[in-house]
Amino acid sequence: TQLLEQSPQFLSIQEGENLTVYCNSSSVFSSLQWYRQEPGEGPVLLVTVVTGGEVKKLKRLTFQFGDARKDSSLHITAAQTGDTGLYLCVSGGGSNYKLTFGKGTLLTVNP
Amino acid sequence: DAGVTQSPTHLIKTRGQQVTLRCSPKSGHDTVSWYQQALGQGPQFIFQYYEEEERQRGNFPDRFSGHQFPNYSSELNVNALLLGDSALYLCASSELAYEQFFGPGTRLTVL
């Protein structure tokens, strides 16, 4: 089973600030997904990255997949209170049916 | 179109009891996966059901069992409950190996 390390574990910032969270593995990802989980809800898929070096943008969120496909980052520009939640890095899916989750980064954006 | 639904929302049991959690998949989905999310952790894969059979299983004891019905809905059963079974239990549905959609979860507390 692939182990995913996420950092930081907790992050508390003010509205309007920028932030980056990281996901690392000792082995190569076939693909990597980022989910966001809000309190009282299940995780919701934000993006899937497949190709080394790939960059995907989702409004103020920018996702990057490392060239060696062993790490990924999520950058949020001008954070809003609605960005508050648990950001989870996930491997698996597709033909490898189960999803393996990291422990997540708990982001709190204060007004 | 209803998404993934789970019942009950919350449940309190005592050690040694048995519990059954229920999941209705998103319309058109034939695959159901169950995950356990302890406080402060990412979800951990329990098992996945497809065509009424367990297709893949995570590292959970036999006290955890499941079932999938012909209408694709699913149940998760946990016998001989332990304090450590207290967690949020998430159900996710998908069509074959495509994106998994999560329900809001069932919060189980074992006293």
Domain segments of chain B as ranges: 5-103
A44 interaction partners in chain B (CB closer than 8 Å): 102
Strand-strand pairing, A55-58 and A85-93: unpaired
Q: How many domains does chain A have?
A: 1
pLDDT digits (tens, 9 = 90+) for A62-109: 999 999 999 999 999 999 999 999 999 998 866 667 888 999 999 999
Beta-carbon separation of B44 and A101 below 8 A: yes
Q: What is the CATH number of the domain that holds A81?
A: 2.60.40.10
- Give the residue numbers spanning the domain of A49: 4-110
pLDDT at residue number A98: 81
Nearest to B99 by CA among A90, A85, A80: A90
Distance CA A42, CA B91 (A): 9
Interface test with A, best of B100, B101, B107 (most A CBs within 10 A): B100
CB pairs under 8 A between A and B: 55
Determine the topology of domain B5-103 in CATH.
Immunoglobulin-like (2.60.40)
A97 interaction partners in chain B (CB closer than 8 Å): 31, 33, 48, 55-56, 97
Q: What is the mean pLDDT of residues B67-73?
A: 96
Per this entry, what is the length of chain B?
Answer: 111
pLDDT digits (tens, 9 = 90+) for B30-60: 999 999 999 989 999 999 999 999 999 999 9
